[in-house]
Amino acid sequence: MSDSDEVRTISAAPDSGAEPIDAQAGPSDASGERKRVPLSLIAVIVGLLVLLAGIVAVWGYVALNVPARVPPVVGMTPVDAERTLNAANLVAGSATYYVTTEFPSGRVIAQSPVPYSRVRQGSAVNVRVAVAPVPVAVPDVSSIESGRAQAILRYYQLLPILAEAYSTSVPTGLVIEQLPRAGDTAMTGSSEVVVVSLGPGTMGATVPSLIGKKFPAAVSLAASATLFAEPRAVIATGFADGTVADQTPSAGSKVLVGSKVWVSVVTPPAQ
């Protein structure tokens, strides 16, 4: 066997206590610590997040402040009107009810803001709804303070009209009498005249008796007492058509010169 063919055996070096070297591991950090993310990169990321938040905020502000156009809801039911308003990013506001025979009952007859006006999104649109008149018993408001009496009449959907007269028996500010009378049947939406006490007094005009007289004669008689006869149409029995069936203030009352005397004039029932 030649020298070149000689197999040489190389023994491992004796254990020196050193740790084995991983052949696949890269060069180690001289400090023995992992590499940190540069502060400049963190600053860039934070800046991008702030920019994104600003863009979202601006977009939200612009989206909320784009004007909404008020859609027309007149002629709709309140439910359909609310749906239409919600679809336009608006909300239904207050609904008031108006007694009338000129419009279909249960339909919107007016709105505010008006159609096609521009408002902020989320704004409220108020509506007025027509309701048909119905019979109601007139409540008794005699000897009640004027403001409270008016509130009671409005609760019954009657429209109070104020008149004044002197009285030695009814304190100032309280109701002396009313027309139609308490317990009579009236239609909701009709007027109710209440005469309010001015307290004791002798000055002024004396109300003449107009009951039983034809309306033109009642007008002339009231005028001679420096008063005005204001007619109200009623259906009553026991009186001819065009005749005064009732009045307020009552005959003999002392009122201010130039005051109105409301008279119920009989009219034939509708055919």
Residue recorded with tokens 């007694």: 99
Q: Give the chain's domains with CATH numbers.
A: 68-131 (3.30.10.20), 133-201 (3.30.10.20), 205-271 (3.30.10.20)
Whether 18 shows a pLDDT value over 80: the answer reads: no
- 120: which 2 tokens? 């902020």
CB 153 within 8 A of CB 226: no
Q: How far apart are CA 102 and CA 89, in angstroms?
A: 31
Q: What is the pLDDT of residue 9?
A: 45
- The predicted model scores a pTM of 0.61
Contacts for 208 with CB less than 8 Å, ≥ 6 apart? 221, 222, 224, 225, 227, 251
pLDDT in tens, 227-269: 999 998 887 778 888 999 999 999 999 999 999 999 999 987 6
Instruction: Name the residue type at position 130.
Output: A
- 244: which 2 tokens? 């005064």
Q: What is the pLDDT of residue 62?
A: 59
Q: How far apart are CA 245 and CA 205, in angstroms?
A: 22
Residues present in the chain in total: 271
Q: How far apart are CA 241 and CA 91, in angstroms?
A: 51
